[in-house]
Amino acid sequence: YNLLGTGTVLLPLMSAAYVPDPKPCLNKVLPGSKMNRRFELPCDATGKNTCSAFTWVDEARKMIGLVFRGTISDEQFEFELPSLLSARPKKFQNGGQAVPYFNDAMFSLWNGGLGTNVQELSRQHPDFDFYIAGHSLGGSMASLAAAHISASGVHPSSKIILYTVGEPRNGDEQLGHLFDAFRAYRIVHYKDLAPHLPFESQGYKHHSQQVYYENSMAAGEPYVICKAGEDPQCANK
């Protein structure tokens, strides 16, 4: 877990996912990198709520990246909530069960051009580290995308690095095992409600590993890394 890299690069890029043009932020935090493509598509039955992600390449640092946007409106959250609290889990393409909204949202982007874009970037840069990131809903989509990319052999698992902030539970224990193949850092603040949803009683489990902050998360603040997805020493205290 690289706190400096997360705070100075990936957290700003997660924020940049919420604006129509992430390029200025990307150029600031990773000078010399290039925005590749941005996708924004309807991602639920309303036809109005959209999900978004963008890809980037940094030739000098040998990195490619994929960042997902989180929930952007009360209307979208109100449509997500039943999927979190009452909808039956949905079969995930690479094994296990996933939260229906997160699964459908990620694959709406993937099948809408993102998958082709990611495959092309991986073919062009098979030896590059692949950073995948997102906040909240974006964190769940990033997680499912990372699991899919790894399990489908789109990019070498050893080169995949996942960072999420405020990620809800997004699948069952079987799906969680897919995350053992690559590096995953699920950053959790002790006052954040999102990581406690949906409930374990619904059959959902967090994947490993958790980076837990029981403070303000300011630079230099301590954190605990918990290897287990549902660790009683971290967010489940």
Per-residue pLDDT reduced to its tens digit, 152-168: 999 999 999 999 999 99
Residue 237 lies in a domain: no
Mean pLDDT score, 166-183? 97
Single pTM value for the model? 0.96
Tokens encoding 133: 């990131």
**Residue 233, in any domain of the structure:** no
* Residues spanned by the domain of 198: 3-226
* CATH assignment at residue 45: 3.40.50.1820
- Write out pLDDT tens, residues 196-214: 999 999 999 999 999 999 9
Residue 87 domain-assigned (yes or no): yes
Q: What pLDDT was estimated at residue 155?
A: 99
* pLDDT of 5: 64
101 inside domain: yes
- Split into its structural domains, the chain has a count of 1
CB atoms within 10 A of CB 127: 7
Is 77 exposed, middle or buried (CB count within 10 Å of its CB: 0-12, 13-18, 19+)? Answer: middle
Q: How far is CA 18 from the centre of its chain?
A: 14
Of 55-59, 156-160, 225-229, where does mean pLDDT reach its minimum? Answer: 225-229
Chain-centre distance of CA 149, in angstroms? 12
Asked whether residue 179 is domain-assigned, the answer is yes
